[in-house]
């Protein structure tokens, strides 16, 4: 019964959270306390989220908070404004306030060892949320998606966009390129960025080896491709620099691997400013650009044939899993894991619960995002929540 209530509440909260979100909003309340919930006879749970500049973290925070409150806990939800010291002090304060459990989506996964030691000293279990916390033995559980497979899906959708693969993943041998592709990665201090990259590169490498795909800039190391804090502006600037350095003499760019929708929008802006598109059906077509998170502005771009694909990770399910795991901990049980091998944080392998993700193309926006209630048809039409 409690679990059913939790799931229903999470669904309702996501709808509210997304409705309240302005779509890539300015995050002006970042760093501010979201306050504590009512009731709370189950005790206080601290929830630390990285930023409000991306819709997904707002939806995650709201859904986790609501689910915990429905399960009888008081919740201290904080956003760290993508600033490491802010998140560190928010977690310190949660411990001081007497939190019984922490759920943490880190900004820099290597920067929280002191906080986690303090939590362990106080007997407080820690669940890493979406992003693994590294270099600490005091991470007790990890809820996330299959991040390597997210990278595989990103690269697969790029190959589909180029026509090298059918949408069902079947090779189309007569399409041999060579295609000019540039590669973007996420923030190197986020463990997920490395998993997305590895999944994508493992998928693309055979095509690079066969000469179907070339990377004209030569920037094929994750360090060269990285985007600190996943920032849209940083990605736009790097795309502009690549266009200037490598595509000045009429060389045509065919596709860009992008690990996150905000980065994709920065890339698309740079490409449009340089004369590509504006859409993929124009004379000088927009290259195939991938993404992640099904942010509403990008879903609209996919519907309008500008961005090619994104990866949908249902944050409602992740929040539900975090709440279930927290309840299991606080009932004195070990949370149920479905992976005990993949996520080595440098000190130990953290038991994990992994969820699956889906590739979004223009032709399945309806079934994946609208029919499931993640976005409404009106929101997709407007490109705004
Ligand atoms: C998350 C992605 C997100 C990225 C930027 C990653 O840790 O797994 O869903 O796109 O952070 O916020």
Domain match, 200 and 327 both: no
Task: Give tens-digit pLDDT for 54-84.
Answer: 999 999 999 999 999 999 999 999 999 999 9
pLDDT of residue 41: 81
- The reply to whether 249 falls in a domain is yes
Full residue range of the structural domain in which residue 187 is found: 147-312
Residue 203 CB less than 6 A away from ligand 1: no
Do 79 and 116 belong together in one domain? yes
Query: What CATH number does the domain containing 348 carry?
Result: 3.40.50.2300
* Residue 195 within any structural domain of the chain: yes
- Cα–chain-centroid distance for residue 206? 26
Domain stops at, among 258, 277, 312: 312
Report, as an integer, the average pLDDT of 15-21: 40
Q: Which residue of 80, 200, 260 sits with most ligand 1 atoms within 8 Å of its CB, as the best mutation to test the pocket?
A: 260
Q: Does residue 156 sit in the same domain as residue 258?
A: yes
Q: Is there a single domain that holds both residue 306 and residue 344?
A: no
Q: Give CA–CA dist 6/69, Å, rounded.
A: 9
Residue of the nearest CA to atom 5 in ligand 1?
A: 230
Tokens of 376: 């409404």
Do 14 and 107 lie in one domain? The reply is: yes
Give the torsion sign (CA, 66, 68, 73, 76): negative
Would you say residue 189 has pLDDT above 90? yes
Residues 34 and 135 in one domain: yes
Q: Report yes or no on 255 lying in a domain.
A: yes
Indicate whether 364 belongs to any domain.
no
Same domain for 249 and 201? yes
pLDDT tens-digit readout, 284-341: 999 999 999 999 999 999 999 999 999 999 999 999 999 999 999 999 999 999 999 9
* Tens of pLDDT, residues 115-132: 999 999 999 999 999 999
Is residue 376, in this structure, part of any structural domain at all? Answer: no
Residues 129-155 have pLDDT tens digits of 999 999 999 999 999 999 999 999 999
Residues 162 and 222 occupy one common structural domain: yes
Give the model's confidence band at 37: pLDDT under 50 very low, under 70 low, under 90 confident, else very high: very low
Q: Is residue 157 domain-shared with residue 117, that is, in the same domain?
A: no
Q: Find, among 70, 154, 152, 122, the residue nearest to 327 by Cα.
A: 70
* Residue from 27, 54, 107, 230 to probe ligand 1 pocket by mutation (most atoms less than 8 Å from CB): 230
Using the 3D structure, point to which of 250, 281, 312 is the last residue of a domain: 312
Measured over the CA atoms of residue 138, residue 141, residue 144 and residue 149, the dihedral's sign is positive
Contacts of 73 (CB under 8 A, 6+ apart): 37, 40, 42, 43, 44, 45, 100, 326, 330
How high is the pLDDT of residue 250? Answer: 86
In a domain, 76, yes or no: yes
Residue with the smallest CA separation from ligand 1 atom 6 is: 192
Q: How do residues 191-241 score in pLDDT, each as one tens digit?
A: 999 999 999 999 999 999 999 999 999 999 999 999 999 999 999 999 999
365 domain-assigned: no
Binning pLDDT at 50, 70 and 90, where does residue 40 land? low
pLDDT of the residue at 49? 98
Q: What is the DSSP letter of 230?
A: G
**Residue 156 confidence class, pLDDT cut points 50, 70, 90:** very high
One domain for residues 190 and 257: yes
Please give the distance, rounded to the nearest whole angstrom, from the Cα atom of residue 385 to the centre of ligand 1.
19
One domain for residues 153 and 95 = no
- Ligand 1 centroid to residue 132 C-alpha, Å: 11
Q: Does 375 fall in a domain?
A: no
Chain CA centroid to CA 126, Å: 20
**Per-residue pLDDT reduced to its tens digit, 267-285:** 999 999 999 999 999 999 9
Please indicate whether residue 69, judged by its CB atom, sits closer than 6 Å to ligand 1: no
Please count the structural domains in the chain. 2
């Amino acid at each position: 019964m409690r679990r059913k209530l939790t799931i229903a509440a999470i669904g309702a909260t996501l709808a509210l959270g997304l409705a309240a979100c302005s779509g890539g909003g300015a995050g002006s309340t970042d760093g501010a306390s979201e306050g504590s919930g009512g009731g709370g006879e189950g005790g206080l749970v601290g929830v630390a989220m990285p930023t409000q500049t991306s819709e997904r973290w707002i939806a995650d925070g709201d859904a986790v908070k609501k689910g915990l409150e429905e399960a009888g806990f008081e919740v201290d939800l904080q956003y760290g404004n993508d600033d490491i010291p802010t998140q560190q002090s928010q977690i310190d304060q949660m411990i001081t306030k007497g939190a019984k459990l922490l759920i943490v989506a880190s900004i820099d996964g290597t920067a929280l060892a002191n906080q986690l030691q303090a939590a362990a000293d106080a007997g407080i279990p820690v669940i890493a949320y979406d992003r693994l916390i590294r270099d600490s033995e005091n991470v007790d559980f990890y809820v996330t998606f299959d991040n390597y497979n997210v990278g595989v899906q990103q690269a697969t959708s790029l190959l589909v966009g180029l026509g090298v693969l059918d949408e069902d993943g079947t090779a189309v041998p007569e399409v041999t390129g060579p295609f000019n592709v540039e590669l973007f990665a996420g923030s190197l201090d986020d463990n997920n960025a490395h998993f997305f990259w590895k999944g994508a590169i493992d998928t693309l490498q055979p095509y690079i080896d066969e000469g179907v795909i070339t990377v004209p800039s030569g920037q094929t190391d994750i360090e060269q491709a990285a985007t600190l804090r996943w920032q849209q502006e940083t990605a736009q600037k790097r795309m502009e620099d690549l266009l200037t350095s490598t595509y000045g003499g009429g060389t045509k760019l065919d596709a860009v691997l992008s690990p996150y929708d905000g980065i994709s929008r920065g890339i698309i802006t740079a490409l449009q400013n340089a004369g590509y598109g504006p859409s993929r059906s124009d004379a000088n077509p927009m290259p195939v650009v991938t993404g992640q998170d099904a942010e509403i502005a990008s879903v609209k771009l996919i519907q309008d044939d500008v961005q090619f694909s994104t990866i949908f990770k249902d944050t409602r399910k992740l929040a539900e899993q975090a709440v279930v795991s927290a309840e299991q901990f606080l009932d004195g049980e070990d949370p149920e894991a479905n992976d005990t091998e993949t996520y080595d944080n440098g000190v130990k392998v953290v038991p994990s619960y992994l969820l699956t993700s889906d590739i979004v193309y223009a032709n399945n926006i309806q079934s994946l995002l609208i029919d499931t209630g993640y976005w409404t048809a009106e929101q997709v039409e407007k490109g705004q929540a």
